[in-house]
Amino acid sequence: MSEERIIKSLSALKSVQPDGDFAVKSKTLIFSSARTSARPTLAPKVIFGRVLDMGLSLALMSALVITVLSGVGLISGRNAAVTPVLNSGLTNDASAAIQDINVHLSDVQYFNAESAKTNTALKAAAGKAVVSPAASASQQNIDSLLNQAAQ
């Protein structure tokens, strides 16, 4: 397409307006649509509680393993033989705990990003769209082209 045809098309599209109750219809459609998958609550208290619960469970399990292994070593009289096993168990438990915490942190980051996307979509549906700086710059560029076409 030539620039003149593009400018004419953009000029024609500039006058396009949504009908009056578009925001109401959009909100109704969004809120009435069924959820495709259950998402956990994103409240900080809930997320912190889940992470704390998992951390305490791992700590108690590690303490139980240490107690059992040290008790076995003392009873059998081979405490020196149990120490390397105990150390490798602690290392494995610590690695598992770190991996679990990393998984929970990545979940929190994912939920935060999805929450921001949902918030933007709801604002856009309500007619209060947030314009990013890049979109604003391209809008100004289109406006200047349309002004040139009008002259």
Residue 61, pLDDT score: 93
Say if 135 falls within a structural domain. Answer: no
Say if 140 falls within a structural domain. Answer: no
For the record, the structure tokens of 98 come out as: 């770190």
Q: What is the rounded distance in angstroms from the CA atom of residue 69 to the CA atom of residue 46?
A: 35
Say if 62 falls within a structural domain. Answer: yes
- Residue 51: domain span: 43-121
**Total domains present in the chain:** 1
Say if 113 falls within a structural domain. Answer: yes
Residue 60, pLDDT score: 92
Say if 78 falls within a structural domain. Answer: yes
Give the predicted TM-score (pTM) of the model: 0.24
For the record, the structure tokens of 97 come out as: 């705990």
Say if 3 falls within a structural domain. Answer: no
Say if 115 falls within a structural domain. Answer: yes
Task: Per residue of the chain (151 residues), give pLDDT as tens.
Answer: 588 888 888 888 888 777 778 878 888 888 887 665 555 567 777 788 888 889 999 999 998 988 887 776 555 555 555 455 556 666 777 778 787 777 777 777 788 788 888 888 887 777 755 555 555 566 667 777 777 777 6
Say if 13 falls within a structural domain. Answer: no
Residue 77 Ramachandran class (φ > 0 left, ψ -120 to 50 alpha, else beta) = left
